[in-house]
Structure 1
């Protein structure tokens, strides 16, 4: 629904390295959230409430030997915190839906690596465990099947090794007189068709194109996907922007 609106905005970014795509989007979203928060909340009130919570924290530490008094202070701190959260909720309502839309776009465009021309890849059919027999992948121009075909179902799945030229394809699988299809995109650019198609017809569960998951960031051997990378940079940008813009 929102693809036609958001794609012209973010699609040009796909010419950049994926790390930069995530950095730019996380900065943009953090900036928007910070500005919306600043102008949809009473900042003087928010500062007062935040200062009160800090004072309550100090009092609780000072009253560590007087548990009853400390408990009373904690109750007051919780009430103040609830007020703070209540006033923050308005800005959350303004930004929640746009963030979900942007996350959906990122998941559709940078969660997986593209399959390049002449690159070997696999497609997998997952079936109910009691389904037996052979499935045939119909060969079409531009696609080379490099594994056994038809494929015998083993452990509830059938996997084919393929190679294809650049282009958009519709893979067709034949099983016991039934026909199943799955879109496939082969490109040198960043892009891919939906990696998994749910069927659930009593025989086939899902049809998958086995794109490699995109690893955007390498932190000392820990390879992070788009979402983890987004969270890391959005935290950095949010904390920095809130200090610069003086948001409480």
Structure 2
């Protein structure tokens, strides 16, 4: 019998048979990992198995490549914070859906794990959450090997008047260097580079650029799968904060 124990965040829950559930978690040592929770639909266990919840899981299986079973102990629930407003709910759903979609199974991504837990702990704080989420998407791209280089212009090397991002290289491009090719480049709002206004409109614009790379670099290679709908709902909620 193979066993391990780790702390994790619950990413998804689905029914399995009449009384059990299959959950996917994100743990620091074992990455995105699935397992069966016996009695997972019971009144005692079901409230613990909510997306975003912090839990301790003990996994066991006869062979390493089997689905295996989880025993779950609650550490911290985030359901109250997530259900408190539209932004938090959409944000939680977007984070969980993206991780389920793009993370390789059973592959540790420790920096991204810690970044994700820090983000989830900010649920219910609409004044800081949108910008924290933008930074999380940038960290996700970096962890998956598609980080953007926004330090200087890819064409000229200057670090002033950077206004665009190349959709091919993910590098910044200055306004002068873009020239007639500007309409083929992605916008580089200052907030994406850690500068300027962090309004909802600017963050939403920046998420359009990160979203391009998530969709065309991370998701495109996974087959015919669309961007999670929760992400669009999150952007809408961010824009509504200032409406």
**Greater Cα radius of gyration, structure 1 or 2:** 1
Same fold? TM cut 0.5: no
Larger RCO of the pair (alpha carbons < 8 Å, separation 6+)? 1
TM-score by length of 2: 0.26
More helix by share: 1
